Structure 1
Amino acid sequence: MKITNFVTPPEHINFLAKNLFGNCGEIINGSIAYLEPNGGGPVQLHTHEHDHLFIVVRGEAKVLFENSTHIIRENESFLVKGTLLHSVWNNALETTTMIGISVKSSDDRCIK
């Protein structure tokens, strides 16, 4: 596992932490997903009113947009505006583990 930008908080021992996001808006729900190699979706790019904050715990994910792609590496987060056409796919040869948090009115500045 690649550990970058982690710190040991005061009064902690053998403990590394990394802030992934701040105030992103009101949380609607959260889930964990296991994306097998070549797995993801939806097959067709889609939109919706809420945004997604994706956090990759293991592996690597690829967010497809209409005209671009964004890679989310292990221990990174990325906010996907729901109003943009998008889908998310595994970008690794092994299973990718990802947490998805759906939020109402989010702010791009929430990502650290």
Structure 2
Amino acid sequence: MSEQIEEPVQVPPWRPENGPQPQVWCWPAGDQPALYVYDGGKWKYAPVTARLEHADCRTEYQVTLQTSRGRETVHRAYWWPQPGLRRAHGSASDPTDREPIPKTAAG
């Protein structure tokens, strides 16, 4: 008997009426952790673009998800944990609360 997994619930955008603004953590480009997201009946690889820690102690992960064979990507946010999310891999870098510096051709 196979396990029935539901697609994860997305997080609505933060608004001031939700309470204090969450703390945002990012990783350097090229060394981001990733999740597997259950989407459209399949597990899909999704690099994490940010982790948000909310004042009510909930954790949100923002990811980039490839949604179709046409390689369309979307940005989504999910509460952690939930059954439709699994850890793909971590990062060798510690997250920072500063904006990530994008890689450049020179650097």
TM-score, normalization by structure 2:
0.29
Pick 1 or 2: higher relative contact order, CA cutoff 8 A, min separation 6: 1
Q: Could you say which structure has the higher strand fraction?
A: 1
